[in-house]
Structure 1
């Protein structure tokens, strides 16, 4: 049995991943934006260990969430699933870019980190010059490129941790819409596989997966100087430093 924390697991892909992992016998801690959504999530996945609540658009609530996670002890895997799409650039930046950075930096080191990116990251640009002024110019695609850059930075800095990014595909969730063409089951199976599988193909780091297969990603994510600048800017905005040596 493995112990896993999944952000944004009240509905959508996070919820489906959590349900599958519970069915497989793992201990899963859910996350929801607020208490009401949290209660609903626990009703839908009765076997989940518990639910933590925090609005990831708030830097302070996100920091507090990391504290709550650490109070529960060490986790084998953390799936950074939470994300927003059709909303303001400010919210996209807070939830998609800053929140996974904060949680990665503050949560005690897990053995595996899985970040949900998107095929749309291929069209993104780092646009790091807009982090402090011009947030409204950062797109969803940019934010998912930031996620890819974070996953690669973690893989480079923490070689003892498996850190990978996933494109779940355009799947029929609330975010993707009912007419989305990709396979919903394949959309959540890859992150669960990366979280717990002993398959040698899953025990890698610094990779980008689509439906349990490695895919090429936006080459801009490989720029180490840009990765370092991303981490530094996130630190300046949030007040949270990226630890050079993971805790644990």
Structure 2
């Protein structure tokens, strides 16, 4: 995660950062089921990073974020999903790996000193799933 044990590669670091974003969103959705937490792909847009030939529409890029944040559309009132242009899309399968999500949360806590607790509802779900009732 910190690239201290391997040689820097910008493309790999970018891809890993996107996976970490999705892992975090899915972990929050799992730990806080009463809070909507989703991840999305804004698309490949013509920015300095994306370049002038990027095929996605720059105006569409922020629409999914806004839609998920404020829409009353039932399709937007979900949690723990991945979206592209206001449609569900399959995320990297690693993003659904609960052990990997928890590893990321522990690492974030180690680095920041701040943990992300379970909500009461999320704690109940975790306990039921682990046979800890």
Asked if residue 140 in structure 1 is aligned to residue 7 in structure 2, the reply is no
Shift of 1:131: 4.1
Asked if residue 235 in structure 1 is aligned to residue 106 in structure 2, the reply is no
Select the structure with the greater relative contact order (CA < 8 A; seq sep ≥ 6).
Answer: 2
User: Equivalents in 1 of 2:64, 2:43: separation in Å?
Assistant: 11
Aligned-residue Cα RMSD (Å) equals 1.9
Cα deviation 1:37-84 (Å, max 9, x = unaligned): xxxxxxxxxxxxxxxxxxxxxxxxxxxxxxxxxxxxxxxxxxxxxxxx
User: Equivalents in 2 of 1:218, 1:212: separation in Å?
Assistant: 18
Q: Where does the alignment leave 5 or more consecutive residues of structure 2 unmatched?
A: 121-133
Cα deviation 1:203-237 (Å, max 9, x = unaligned): 00001000000000110111101110110011111
Shift of 1:158: 0.3
| Aligned-partner SS, 1:166 | strand
2:58 to 151, 165, 184: 184
| Aligned-partner SS, 1:201 | helix
1:203 to 62, 72, 77: 77
1:214 to 80, 84, 88: 88
Counterpart for residue 168 of structure 1: 42
TM-score w.r.t. length of structure 1 = 0.44
Say which structure is richer in strand.
1
User: Equivalents in 2 of 1:206, 1:134: separation in Å?
Assistant: 31
